[in-house]
Structure 1
Amino acid sequence: MKHLTCLATVATLMTTLATFAYAGGHANWASVPDQSGVGFGSIKKDTVGEVHHFEDVSGTVSEAGELAVSINLGSVETYIDIRNERMIEHVFQAADAKATLAGEVDMDEFNDLAVGETTLTDFEGVLSLGGLEAEIEAELLVARLTEDRVLVTTANMIMLSTADLGFDAGIDTLMQLAKLPGITRVTPVTVRMVFEK
């Protein structure tokens, strides 16, 4: 579950970066909910891999390239109801818990990106979660779909440490409740976001 949270955080950062990259300095950009998503993976018992996601992720980018992303941690979907409930209670510690990502992007680099073109860009930001802050770095692939829409995805998987986000105690509890010998403490995260103005 910590893996899920880490993935969500990374995904949020990426989404924000994507929005900045496409903004072009003329208007605010907002994520398109039904075409955007953040996925993450976890491994239990050393051999069982599972895929999860957050259903409520949103992001905006200002004219100046200021990024603001919000992830509703209570929207975690692991495809097992009791596991969703346990993650919310023991890892995220509240149904209304949120993670936020803030950063800035140099908009000038993307102003000349034509419809149909793609580019790779590096992003750096700060993820805030439960009173803790973590620096995030990611490489993103940005594709301009139309004059008013841009697709942003992770160029490579992002690997996050649950210890950095303060989730290890919650994961220990999950292991005890599910009687598992282990849950990996590093999680791969992928992001697919569409932004429009």
Structure 2
Amino acid sequence: MMSKLASQAVAGALALAASLTCATSQAAWRVDSGQSTFSFTTTKAARPGAAALAEVQTFRQIDGSIGDDGKLVFDVDLASVETNIDLRNQRLKDMLFKVADHPKAVFNGAVDMRRVQALHTGASMDIDVSGALAISGVARPLSASLRVVKLANGALFVGTRLPIVVNLKDYGLQDEVEALRALMNLDVLAGSAPVSFAVMLEPQR
């Protein structure tokens, strides 16, 4: 049986490990959703031979952080989709994203913290970030070309240099796209969309 002294030593070691884990995962920067934008472009055609119509849609609520260890987590509240048409918003939430079961799209990746920390105020750098995007419980590899600008208060402004094309077929949502197309009586409803964002990351200490 473990002695009292040994038990205390183990408890102390576990407490130290827990504190180190918390410190490692502590956010260095966090998304300020009120100063950030996230958009995607949909393409549709009403009838055969008709010119395609592209429309820019947005998500109003985004979140995320970069940790001291360079781990990046970025998520989008799918229920915050805004197409400027209430019925279309509801259809996307219920029929496509099924937000009751999968409320968020989440990207996990990593950045080189040495480059980020070395960035001088007012300077910018271009980085390529690789990771995985999860939508509707399905995760797929995804890469993004980004520009990072360091601001005077230590905040980071991060934006896409090139749109990120997300194909919903990769996430098993082709049937949902087809159901929307049929319901809206469209000839074409694209199952892929270019995504762009401009995100403000505020320092946490």
Is this a same-fold pair by TM over 0.5? yes
Letter in 2 for 1:72: D
Q: Figure out how many residues of one structure are paired with residues of the other and give that number.
A: 173
Shift of 1:147: 4.0
Q: What residue is the counterpart of 1:190 in the other structure?
A: 196
Q: Distance between the aligned counterparts of 1:188 and 1:48, measured in 2?
A: 14
1:33 correspondence with 2:39? no
> Deviation digits for residues 64-106 of structure 1, max 9, x if unmatched?
1111222111111111111111111111113462111111111
1:129 correspondence with 2:102? no
* Percentage identity across paired residues of the two chains: 30
Stretch moving more, 66-75 or 171-180: 66-75
Match for residue 49 of structure 1 among 30, 50, 54: 54
1:143 correspondence with 2:149? yes
Letter in 1 for 2:122: G
CA RMSD across the alignment: 1.7
Q: Distance between the aligned counterparts of 1:112 and 1:54, measured in 2?
A: 32
Q: Distance between the aligned counterparts of 2:94 and 2:76, measured in 1?
A: 16
Letter in 1 for 2:58: H
Shift of 1:186: 2.2
> Deviation digits for residues 117-161 of structure 1, max 9, x if unmatched?
111001001111222111110110111112421100001111121
TM-score, normalised via structure 1 length: 0.83
Long gaps (5+) in structure 1: 1-25
Long gaps (5+) in structure 2: 1-25, 46-50
Q: Distance between the aligned counterparts of 1:31 and 1:93, measured in 2?
A: 25
2:57/2:81 contact within 8 Å kept: yes
